[in-house]
Amino acid sequence: MRRLPSVLLIVVLAASVFGGCRKAAPVVSGTKVGLVTDVGGRGDQSFNDSALRGLETWAAKKSYVKGGGYAAVSDADYAQSLADNAPDLTDKSIAPVPSITPVVLESKEQTDYIPNLTKLAEDEGCKLIIAVGFMLADATYQVAKEHPQTKFMLIDAVPSDPTTFAPLPTLPNLVDYLFREEQCGFLVGAIAGYATKANKIGYIGGMPVPPVQRYEAGFFAGIKTTNKTAYGTDGKNVANVYAGSFGDQPAGKLIAQTMLGQKCDILFHAAGATGNGVFEAIKEAGGPAKGLWGIGVDVDMGKNPNLYPAGTLTSAIKHVDYATWLAIKSVADNTFTSGPITLSLTDGGVGWAQGNVAKVLTAGQIARIETLRAGIVAGTIVPPTDSAAVPAWTPPAGF
């Protein structure tokens, strides 16, 4: 351990004497919160950017300046970020967390994970370190175990034994945030089932990791609920391809072009930056004028001018931004707890974007989507989490 300056040591000892059994003080001025991106990195316009928004904009009230550093976010811009990205979270009292300093390291390769996490813990002295994505699970568990005085947030995974896949023992300084991707995937699948004219729909995944597979399972189940023809026998009518990457936009475009050539008129991607190529392909193919639509993932991609808002039917929203803000706030409030926390439709963790749905679905169909959402919240509808289970899954009647 590094030696504390003598004055600081006196302060610490005095606090221990006079503090008695009180809780530790909340986060104070200048507290560093670190974040390590997955290989999709800053600018993926999806998963990583959502986590960055939760840290930089919502918690620290800062905006990243290209090339390095931060600028202050105005009250108006802060409110606009919430309006654009969290219109369904108005009851969550999201507000800046005082005196947070973001420290972000981007991962270009998977071998960057451990060095980046370690640098934030040892060199930067971060109070909390956020690891963005399933692929960082092993590295996060290792570094968290080696740095028990630092708190860690792992998004989208619970660390497991690489041989048995059984969950590893919970570390007191590690919280795992998970999401019910199958729930929002189900709702956009139901929308796609109503919207398709060709009865041909495509799904493009990044890598076959559990969160992406839950999106897939829910999406297929949603299609099966509202359009059995588009679903086909055991889902064989739905085009389904994994790109093998979350950061390969050309590959996403090529897969989308192939599906469009197979007469698919609606494509849903859960592929990070790879999925940006899906919107590029749809736009070049004529978009809505030709009856072609894309469905975004993780964030409301219909509000992103860098993609294709006019051709975005809806998006399956996963509030990684909100989860990130929650974890930071828990450290600030001294309410941090370890272990898995799962966010769902019930608590604002997932949802679907209005997008251009009203232009394609009837009012009656939109009302039925809301009925499906209410059924999931009530527990009367339980979308499958494994695509292999969808063929045997019985959809609710009346849709």
Say which CATH number the domain at 43 has. Answer: 3.40.50.2300
Residue 388 has which token pair?
A: 């292999």
Claim to verify: residue 190 and residue 338 sit in the same structural domain: no
Query: Is the residue at 15 inside a domain?
Result: no
Percent of the chain residues topping a pLDDT of 70: 93
Claim to verify: residue 314 and residue 325 sit in the same structural domain: no
Claim to verify: residue 131 and residue 147 sit in the same structural domain: yes
Q: For residue 9, count CB atoms less than 10 angstroms from its CB and return exposed for 0-12, middle for 13-18, buried for 19 or more.
A: exposed
Question: What domain range includes position 381?
Answer: 181-318+362-389
* Cα 392 to Cα 13: distance, rounded to the nearest angstrom: 63
Residues near 190 by beta carbon (within 8 Å), at least 6 away in sequence: 222, 223, 225, 226, 368, 369, 372, 399
Strand partners, 72: 62
Query: Is the residue at 87 inside a domain?
Result: yes
Three-state SS at 328 = helix
Residue 139 has which token pair?
A: 């590295």
Query: Is the residue at 13 inside a domain?
Result: no
Claim to verify: residue 300 and residue 339 sit in the same structural domain: no
* Cα 375 to Cα 93: distance, rounded to the nearest angstrom: 26
Claim to verify: residue 37 and residue 142 sit in the same structural domain: yes
Claim to verify: residue 223 and residue 95 sit in the same structural domain: no
Phi then psi dihedrals of residue 143, to 5 deg? -70, -35
List of E strands, 261-396? 266-270, 293-298, 312-318, 339-343, 350-352
C-beta separation of 207 from 241 below 8 A: no
Closest CA to 215 of 234, 233, 242: 242
Residue 10 has which token pair?
A: 């006196």
Residues near 389 by beta carbon (within 8 Å), at least 6 away in sequence: 217
- Mean pLDDT per segment of 10 residues, for the chain of length 399 residues? 40 39 44 94 90 98 92 97 93 96 95 98 98 96 98 96 90 98 98 98 96 97 98 95 95 98 98 95 98 96 94 97 98 97 96 96 98 97 97 95
Claim to verify: residue 130 and residue 199 sit in the same structural domain: no
At residue 15, the pLDDT reads 39
At residue 68, the pLDDT reads 84
CA dihedral 216, 220, 225, 226 (to 10 degrees): 110
Query: Is the residue at 348 inside a domain?
Result: no
* Cα 124 to Cα 107: distance, rounded to the nearest angstrom: 17
Query: Is the residue at 350 inside a domain?
Result: no
Claim to verify: residue 36 and residue 54 sit in the same structural domain: yes
How many of the other CB atoms lie within 10 Å of CB of 23? Answer: 9
One DSSP character per residue, 5-27 reads PHHHHHHHHHHHHHSTTPPPPPP
Query: Is the residue at 37 inside a domain?
Result: yes
Claim to verify: residue 225 and residue 258 sit in the same structural domain: yes
At residue 67, the pLDDT reads 85
Residue 159 has which token pair?
A: 């660390």
Q: For residue 199, count CB atoms less than 10 angstroms from its CB and return exposed for 0-12, middle for 13-18, buried for 19 or more.
A: middle
Claim to verify: residue 148 and residue 222 sit in the same structural domain: no
C-beta separation of 301 from 101 below 8 A: no
The tally of domains found in the chain comes to 2
Kindly list the distances between the CA atom of residue 160 and the CA atoms of 45, 96, 148, 165, 245, in Å, as whole numbers in the listed order: 29, 34, 19, 5, 22
**Side chain identity at 10, as an amino acid letter?**
I
At residue 162, the pLDDT reads 84
C-beta separation of 345 from 373 below 8 A: yes
At residue 62, the pLDDT reads 97
Query: Is the residue at 241 inside a domain?
Result: yes
